[in-house]
Structure 1
């Protein structure tokens, strides 16, 4: 995809597949990786007794729900939510160590979406868009049963993806949000070039010039 011209995206949302994560970090090393919140929400309560699952699930979502509509995205908001994660882990760790170990693993990647415009948070914190597309592709393929060639199969998949992608574009864009995205892209993908790497080089240059 990169060789065919895909520019490095700002966020990349994935589940916990190590091969996929490794490939993303190798090919798009400057992109921000977001761990799917819904996948994690399913993993954590699965390690909790049925009596506490509903409570744990409700507390899990309260960690990521931002009530203040005027909150500013950025590192301060990331820090606030990560402290909520720490408090959640501390509350349940003694009773459910395995569940809280899963909650603490890869913690930083679960708050990446908080650096983006607030109106995008609930849409980029999970990978449900692509998961639904996988389900739709399987449903269409089962109807056909057997494809006459590989080309017909890939053509069907492309048609499903093309149709589904129309719903992926439903992001609200505001002037403040566009500025936020522009600043993120410039900071991550177009960082300023350092003239000198250290002060010794600068001092040596000035001495030679004198």
Structure 2
């Protein structure tokens, strides 16, 4: 599941493109963006890597800092492509994690001052459990256990039965 960690916690493609454009002059940003987009448009991991290398090599002479950025970020940015096609659209974005962080912030701001560290852990743990249940129950929205089974280390993927009131 190392590629899952990379896909979720490292530089997804949207953030990478923003960072990459910072290395290009205003006049060349549109071209650079289009070149990088050609890599992301590829259908599988092998062709994405090939196109990525080609784009980085084309940039190397005129934009060496961008080429170096592409060299160092390649593994992290392209990690989501190692997953099945139905997962890729959900992994290349940080939106789910950003939403989760926003919810944690909203709920902890309501409390204001926590009496101790254990109380923070309990609240954040409850929020994370709530979110896990939501993501698990909403079949089409995020990743399901059935679609994750082929990429998991453990074939026997299961959750305890949810208790409803």
Unaligned runs of 5+ in 2: 156-165
* 1:116 counterpart (65, 80, 83): 83
Residue 42 (structure 1) aligns with = 18
Looking at secondary structure, tell me which structure has more helix per residue. 2
1:67-119, Cα deviation, whole Å (9 max, x unpaired): xxxx6xxxxx3221112112221332222211221111142343333332211
Q: Distance in 1 between matches of 2:100 and 2:143?
A: 22
Contact persistence 2:3–2:80 (CA under 8 A): no
Tell me how far apart the structure 2 counterparts of residues 53 and 160 of structure 1 sit (CA, whole Å).
40
Q: Aligned pair in 2 of structure 1 residues 61, 143: CA closer, same or farther (>3 Å)?
A: farther
1:140 to 107, 118, 127: 107
- CA offset digits 1:136-185 (Å, max 9, x no partner): 32233233321223233222212332333324763477x9x67xx53x55
* Residue in 1 that maps onto 2:4: 11
Aligned-partner Cα distance in 2 for 1:50–1:161: 42
CA–CA separation in structure 2 for the residues paired with 1:9 and 1:91: 30
TM-score, normalization: structure 2? Answer: 0.67
The TM-score normalised by the length of structure 1 is 0.55
State how many pairs are aligned: 148
Q: Which runs of 4+ in 1 moved over 6 A?
A: none
Aligned equivalent of 2:32: 56
| Cα deviations by residue, 1:45-70 (Å, 9 ceiling, x for unpaired) | 1222233334433432332124xxxx
Q: 1:83 to 1:132 in 2, by over 3 A?
A: same
Match of 1:20 in 2: none
Computed over aligned residues only, the root mean square deviation of the Cα atoms, in angstroms, reads: 3.2
Structure whose CA Rg is larger: 1
Q: Could you tell me which residue of structure 2 aligns to residue 80 of structure 1?
A: 47
